[in-house]
Structure 1
């Protein structure tokens, strides 16, 4: 009787007509004598199929179960659905991230404006003080209080050298690119 194989390639768990597997194998020879042979050790154990063919001495035709496809129709639908979801969510996510960056920029601009407002408020508070206003008038407009003599220092090194009777310092020579440009301009002018 030919037994049907499972898709995994293994035979059924129990063989019909047998209660359990014996611990020793009995071989029947053509002679009338029977001999009990001990079971093979684990090192010399053969696979189940090889032992079965060796025991029956007949070739058993193996049937190969078809392998399931690696990429089924359900998997294709699932991948298509995931791609559609990713494409559907990209625009809203991009819009959300753009709005978040705009909000962050606006908050930074507000903080900068608040800092400028605080500086201006401190400056206005300074101008409310009459001592500060007087100091600014003396520094910027050269105002003096009654009884003070104003002294204005002018920075005129050439005039100071003339008054001291010294010759003024010679001007530093022109830069090389100024000399080059003046020669280009001189070559460009036409004689009259």
Structure 2
């Protein structure tokens, strides 16, 4: 390559920009051919994606296509665990229901036993009273009108309902009958006047 000299006779001039562009283009071509040679000599890996194999090892990160991370869905283990939990819940519902029913039955039986115990206690108290001779005498007088020898029995008859019935009055505890409505009274008086006029 010949050097150009300037008209002033000075040393070699700077390369023009076109020459610099050609030189840089040549070096880029040389670099890309060297890269292709390296890619051709490296064995293809099955683990690398096809885009990375095509572009080579020195490809920039901007050229790679990245996928957004997908949210993890239920895995097989999680699905099996959920199924086992549901099966256990369904398996335990019937025994729990039986247990709760038994507890309610036990509570009802205990309350019934408490009522029976109270009744038994009352009957025991009454049985203890019948062991007292004075209580027996009192009950014989009130229930059977019995008296001891030498005593006179006086029975007071109190029958207010019978006395009122004999007098033609309503019993004292009964409510008086309601009077007839005015229109019934009016109709009966018209009927009686009509019957009197017909005679």
TM-score using structure 2 length: 0.48
Structure with greater helix percent:
2
Structure with greater strand percent:
1
Q: Which of the pair has more CA radius of gyration?
A: 2
TM-score using structure 1 length: 0.50
